[in-house]
């Protein structure tokens, strides 16, 4: 390949729902250096998921949609999606196929292998090797990933912890095949106009100056463990004298169960609000005082990065790669996933202690600006792509 010819990248994402992978895929499509030509394709969100196509539109990206690419295995849909991806590959003639998350990783890599694409890369945005499926299904997915990884040119982990899990704990592939590239986000809106946005959000939701606003933000699915959050805030309600407003932001298959679980707490006088997805999450975050996460498994949780960018203290279960995205005791607290009492104590402390919240607030932006702003992602991915292209004697 001459330097005058564009490097063609076909980027494939599971589906256009809200979450970390969509931001990563869109920003990499929009901002790679001018020598790249990138086409983004993916499936549609499910019925109980919010559509994230507005994020692509925001950055001027018009992705190709494959309606058959859905989360649940289905032979007919999966085969149809596979054939459509192959047709796109034959037309687009990519030098690199880069897949993001599990379903895209399986179908996209199979299509790329069959079509003889020179370089095939897969990014693990978290993984499904615990807390998602039954024992036998988990083992099946591990076997599939091991077989796919053997033929994959390179694997990207989004944290050092995740790399160790993939290579050493789950033995998906050898460590040498895995490159650690942290996710990157456009975090500027979370740090700008914070005082004005705080007033807007507090007014919109009628939150008084004396009230503490606590939010948990994410898909309403079992792995996010919202029931733990509900148990925690019930415990905290018995300990604090402060007036607290709790927000559960997001949507998903667990929404009805969560709504039933909070009914008795609301009857006790607790102020708990379910908002579904909020598009302008930067403005919303500015009005919060504490942001929580109670997941059983995570890759790089967007909500915690965005919270720190907005100067909001965080509390999270210590699972997956979370300890890579927080300055423990400086921007927030980490607790063991099964330690409800310890989590309750930390949340109570932050609710009661305004000075502690203020100190943690001051550390958030400087930490995430250095580590998670998207120009770092672009730079790291550009370098990685070109290193593989040179190894394959494709570039320059």
- The answer to whether 15 touches 45, Cβ cutoff 8 Å, is yes
**pLDDT recorded at residue 130:** 57
What is the reported pTM? 0.89
Q: Exposed/middle/buried for 208, CB within 10 Å: 0-12, 13-18, 19+?
A: exposed
pLDDT-based confidence at 210, cuts 50/70/90? very high
* 105 assigned to some structural domain: yes
* 222 assigned to some structural domain: yes
Note whether 277 and 298 are same-domain residues.
yes
How far, in Å, CA of 369 to CA of 161, rounded? 21
Of residues 165 and 290, more confidently modeled: 290
What is the CB neighbour count within 10 angstroms for residue 207? 20
Which whole number is the average pLDDT over 95-99? 98
Q: CATH no. for residue 256?
A: 3.40.50.2000
296, 301, 304, 310: CA torsion to nearest 10: -160
The boundaries of the domain holding residue 105 are 7-186+373-391
28-33: list long-range contacts, CB under 8 Å, 24+ apart. Answer: 28/98, 28/377, 28/378, 28/381, 29/56, 29/59, 29/61, 29/63, 30/59, 30/60, 30/61, 31/59, 31/374, 31/375, 31/378, 32/378, 32/381, 32/382, 33/378, 33/382
Note whether 296 and 367 are same-domain residues.
yes
How far, in Å, CA of 295 to CA of 26, rounded? 25
For 43-96, the pLDDT digits (tens) are 988 877 778 999 999 999 999 999 999 888 899 999 999 999 999 999 999 999
Note whether 330 and 292 are same-domain residues.
yes
**pLDDT recorded at residue 321:** 79
pLDDT at 17 over 60: yes
- The answer to whether 304 touches 319, Cβ cutoff 8 Å, is no
How far, in Å, CA of 307 to CA of 286, rounded? 8
Note whether 68 and 101 are same-domain residues.
yes
Structure tokens at 141: 């997915």
How far, in Å, CA of 50 to CA of 45, rounded? 7
**pLDDT recorded at residue 65:** 96
**pLDDT recorded at residue 275:** 97
Note whether 277 and 337 are same-domain residues.
yes
> Based on the structure, what is the number of domains in the chain?
2
Note whether 50 and 180 are same-domain residues.
yes
* 396 assigned to some structural domain: no
The closest of 4, 8, 6 to 97, measured between CA atoms, is: 8
pLDDT-based confidence at 181, cuts 50/70/90? very high
For 238-288, the pLDDT digits (tens) are 999 999 999 999 999 999 999 999 999 999 999 999 999 999 999 999 999
* 2 assigned to some structural domain: no
**pLDDT recorded at residue 2:** 58
Note whether 55 and 144 are same-domain residues.
yes
**pLDDT recorded at residue 46:** 80
* 86 assigned to some structural domain: yes
* 248 assigned to some structural domain: yes
Note whether 243 and 174 are same-domain residues.
no
Structure tokens at 65: 């949609």
For 310-327, the pLDDT digits (tens) are 999 999 999 987 988 999
Note whether 266 and 386 are same-domain residues.
no
For 108-159, the pLDDT digits (tens) are 999 999 999 999 999 998 665 655 567 667 788 889 999 999 999 999 999 8
**pLDDT recorded at residue 249:** 97
pLDDT-based confidence at 176, cuts 50/70/90? very high
Note whether 223 and 283 are same-domain residues.
yes
For 348-383, the pLDDT digits (tens) are 999 999 999 999 999 999 999 989 999 999 999 999
- The answer to whether 321 touches 300, Cβ cutoff 8 Å, is yes
**pLDDT recorded at residue 138:** 75
Note whether 225 and 179 are same-domain residues.
no
pLDDT at 101 over 70: yes
Note whether 368 and 378 are same-domain residues.
no
How far, in Å, CA of 243 to CA of 93, rounded? 59
* 56 assigned to some structural domain: yes
* 231 assigned to some structural domain: yes
**pLDDT recorded at residue 317:** 97
């Amino acid at each position: 390949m001459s330097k005058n010819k564009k490097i063609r990248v076909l980027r494939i994402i599971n589906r256009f729902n809200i979450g970390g992978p969509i931001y990563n895929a869109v920003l990499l499509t929009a901002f790679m250096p001018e020598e790249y030509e990138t086409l983004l394709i993916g499936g549609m969100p499910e019925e109980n998921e919010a559509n994230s196509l507005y994020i692509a539109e925001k950055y001027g990206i018009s992705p190709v949609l494959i309606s058959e690419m859905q989360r649940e295995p289905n032979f007919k849909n999966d085969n149809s999606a596979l054939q459509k991806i192959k047709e796109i590959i034959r037309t687009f003639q990519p030098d690199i196929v880069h897949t993001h998350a599990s379903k895209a990783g399986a179908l996209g890599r199979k299509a790329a292998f069959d079509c003889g694409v020179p370089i095939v890369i897969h990014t693990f945005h978290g993984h499904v090797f615990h807390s998602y499926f039954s024992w036998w299904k988990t083992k099946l997915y591990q076997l599939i990933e091991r077989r796919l990884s053997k033929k994959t040119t390179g694997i990207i982990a989004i944290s050092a912890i995740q790399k160790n899990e993939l290579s050493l704990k789950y033995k998906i592939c050898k460590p040498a095949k895995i490159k650690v590239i942290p996710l990157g986000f456009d975090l500027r809106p979370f740090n700008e106009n914070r005082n004005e946005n705080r007033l807007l959000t507090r007014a919109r939701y009628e939150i008084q100056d004396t009230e503490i606003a606590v939010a948990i933000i994410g898909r309403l699915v079992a792995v996010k463990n919202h029931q733990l959050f509900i148990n925690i805030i019930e415990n905290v309600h018995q300990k604090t004298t402060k007036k607290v407003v709790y927000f559960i932001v997001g949507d998903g298959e667990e929404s009805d169960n969560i709504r039933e679980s909070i009914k008795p707490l609301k009857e006790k006088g607790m102020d708990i609000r379910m908002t579904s997805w909020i598009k302008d999450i930067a403005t919303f975050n500015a009005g919060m005082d504490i942001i929580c996460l109670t997941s059983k498994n995570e890759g790089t949780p967007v909500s915690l990065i965005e919270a720190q960018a907005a100067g909001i203290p965080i509390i999270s279960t210590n699972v997956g790669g979370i300890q890579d995205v927080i300055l423990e005791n400086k921007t927030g607290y980490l607790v063991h996933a099964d330690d409800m009492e310890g989590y309750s104590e930390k949340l109570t402390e932050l609710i009661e202690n305004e000075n502690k919240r203020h100190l943690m607030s001051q550390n958030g932006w400087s930490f995430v600006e250095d580590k998670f702003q998207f120009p770092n992602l672009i730079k790291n991915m550009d370098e990685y792509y070109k290193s593989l292209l040179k190894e394959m004697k494709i570039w320059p």
